[in-house]
Amino acid sequence: MPAAHFSACPDCDLLLNRALPQIGSTAHCPRCGCLLHRPRTDSVERTLALSIAGLLLLFPANFLPLVGIKVLGHEKDGTLWTGVMTLFNEHQWAVAILVFLSSILLPFINIVLCLLVSGHLHHNRRHRYLTHWLYWLQHLEEWAMLEVYCLGIIVACVKLSAMAELQFGLGLYAFVGLLFTNALLTSNLDGHLFWQRIAQLNGQHYEN
Amino acid sequence: MKINTALAQGLVRCHSCGFLGKRDIRLTKCPLCASPLHGRQPHSVQKTLAYLLSAYLLYIPANIFPIMTVTKLGAGEPHTIIGGIIALINSDMLPIALLVLVASILVPLLKLIGISLLLLYVQRGWTGDAYRWTVMYRIISFVGRWSMLDIFMISILVALVDMGSISEVLAGPAATAFGAVVVLTMLAAKSFDPRLIWDNQNKP
Ligand SMILES: [Zn+2]
Ligand SMILES: [Zn+2]
């Protein structure tokens, strides 16, 4: 049986005739309902544009104050970094590292990987680590948790609103922008297309 | 009824890039992305069980010990996860209290129970509605990350409320345990192979 005409469902391993849905429609597994394929318009170009936008937003979101509070004349600003630093100084190393990874380092790595992969594909340029980048991108994605952090900010603000005066900093707007860019990035990156383009660049015959 | 799965036809799907290849002892790596090729994730049940048991163990200190200490005008008051929720209810913030209740108590607990049931389903060879069990698996994988809410909230509070004896928030020992529970349950969900649910259906 020639494998090239078939694909398998990632969630239930059902052997399927390869579906090639139109842009705007989706292919689902008939047995378990798993989303198999959702093609996107200009996936490579959009990923490239969005990852550049994300990279630009990353710096203000990281270093400008997100929220500031005022209690009895004392003022204090909080950035993404101050939380990590304070936890570190309180010897909560494990928690500090966890927060650092999921809110600072991994979102950054994800955007850089998106930029590298889509940039190379857009210019049809080969690179010996291209497959590794896409591989790591797919595996690290779920550990970046900006949207959960955003909810954390909301809950913290509600808790503090009873005892202190709050000010929202410029960093918060950049952070929300980054959040939306990230969500668009995830939904516009078409994994199927990316792997296919990489295979073409490497001169391999491959269809998934 | 025998269902046509890739494995039954001697084909293996690459977990990373979707490449479908002939199952062959010599073909151990995906020709496209070079990740290891397996018909099913190797030792999926054992790995999931190991992560799950560690998560169960850490779930206890995560709920017994204080997750943070709030100091107001010199008087320190330790809060457990549940204590924090009760404090929110007492200060009339019911919606936020419910949100924290769902993210910090219900989601981790349902994840632990859900993954245990999935393991039982696979190990015991149950053949109940596989579609429903797959949906449950997907929900478990999706909601896991939202439990980090408490950890992030603490990291923000700790940074902002830092004024010595006037008012201060310190993270407590339960924060480490709770963070570990979230990571371990995420790893447990990630190492569970949902195709094992469907393999039960094909067994005679
Ligand atoms: Zn399926
Ligand atoms: Zn592969």
Mutation pick from B147, B158, B165 vs chain A, by most beta carbons of A within 10 Å, is: B158
Statement to judge: residues A93 and A65 lie in one domain: yes
Establish if A52 belongs to a structural domain: yes
> Tell me, what's the pLDDT at B186?
96
pTM over cut 0.90: yes
Nearest to A208 by CA among B126, B48, A198, A186: A198
Statement to judge: residues A100 and A168 lie in one domain: yes
Statement to judge: residues A58 and A33 lie in one domain: no
Are A134 and A198 in contact by the 8 Å Cβ rule? The answer is yes
Q: How confident is the model at residue A208 (pLDDT cuts 50, 70, 90)?
A: low
Residues of chain B with pLDDT under 50: none
Statement to judge: residues B160 and B77 lie in one domain: yes
> Tell me, what's the pLDDT at B168?
85
> Tell me, what's the pLDDT at B91?
86
Statement to judge: residues A64 and A35 lie in one domain: no
Statement to judge: residues B78 and B21 lie in one domain: no
Statement to judge: residues A15 and A84 lie in one domain: no
Establish if A206 belongs to a structural domain: no
Q: Give contacts of B20 with chain A, Cβ < 8 Å.
A: 3, 6-8, 208
Statement to judge: residues B154 and B197 lie in one domain: yes
Statement to judge: residues A109 and A81 lie in one domain: yes
CB interface of B with A, residues 2-21, below 8 Å: 3-11, 13, 15-21
Tens of pLDDT along A146-164? Answer: 999 999 999 999 888 877 8
Statement to judge: residues B47 and B131 lie in one domain: yes
Which domain range does residue A8 map to?
1-39
Establish if A79 belongs to a structural domain: yes
Statement to judge: residues B27 and B46 lie in one domain: no
The torsion defined by the Cα of B186, A151, A84 and A176, in degrees rounded to 10, comes to 110
Establish if A21 belongs to a structural domain: yes
Give how many domains chain A has, as a whole number.
2
Which domain range does residue B64 map to?
42-202
> Tell me, what's the pLDDT at A4?
63
Establish if A87 belongs to a structural domain: yes
> Tell me, what's the pLDDT at A95?
96
Statement to judge: residues B126 and B54 lie in one domain: yes
Distance, CA of A63 to CA of A172 (rounded, Å)? 10
Contact yes or no for A95 and B99 at CB 8 A: no
> Tell me, what's the pLDDT at B110?
93
Statement to judge: residues A28 and A112 lie in one domain: no
Tens of pLDDT along A65-118? Answer: 999 988 777 788 889 999 999 999 999 999 999 999 999 999 999 999 999 999
Contact yes or no for A72 and B166 at CB 8 A: yes
Q: Give contacts of A151 with chain B, Cβ < 8 Å.
A: 99, 103, 146, 149, 152
Statement to judge: residues A155 and A106 lie in one domain: yes
Q: Has residue A1 got a pLDDT over 60?
A: no
Tens of pLDDT along A5-35? Answer: 788 999 999 998 877 788 888 899 999 999 9
Statement to judge: residues A8 and A103 lie in one domain: no
Distance, CA of B66 to CA of A52 (rounded, Å)? 42
Statement to judge: residues B53 and B27 lie in one domain: no
- Angle value at C-alpha A13, between A11 and A19, nearest 5 degrees: 90
Statement to judge: residues A90 and A166 lie in one domain: yes
Contact yes or no for B158 and A90 at CB 8 A: yes
> Tell me, what's the pLDDT at B184?
97
In the listed set A24, A39, A54, which residue is the last one of a domain according to the structure? A39
The enclosing domain of B91 has a CATH number of 1.20.140
Statement to judge: residues A24 and A51 lie in one domain: no
Tens of pLDDT along B161-197? Answer: 887 777 888 899 999 999 999 999 999 999 999 999 9
Three-class secondary structure assignment of chain B? CCCCECHHHCEEECCCCCCEEECCCCCCECCCCCCECCCCCCCHHHHHHHHHHHHHHHHHHHHHCCCEEEEECCEEEEECHHHHHHHHHHCCCHHHHHHHHHHHHHHHHHHHHHHHHHHHHHHHCCCCCHHHHHHHHHHHHHHHHHHHHHHHHHHHHHHHCEECCCEEEEECHHHHHHHHHHHHHHHHHHHCCCHHHHHHHHCC
Establish if A208 belongs to a structural domain: no
Give how many domains chain B has, as a whole number.
2
Statement to judge: residues B17 and B63 lie in one domain: no
Neighbours of ion ligand 2 (CB under 5 A): B 14, 16-17, 19, 30, 32-33
Statement to judge: residues B175 and B90 lie in one domain: yes
Statement to judge: residues A131 and A168 lie in one domain: yes
Establish if A152 belongs to a structural domain: yes
Statement to judge: residues B67 and B5 lie in one domain: no
> Tell me, what's the pLDDT at A23?
84
Statement to judge: residues B153 and B84 lie in one domain: yes
Q: How confident is the model at residue A183 (pLDDT cuts 50, 70, 90)?
A: very high
Statement to judge: residues B15 and B57 lie in one domain: no
Q: Report chain A's mean pLDDT, rounded to a whole number.
A: 90
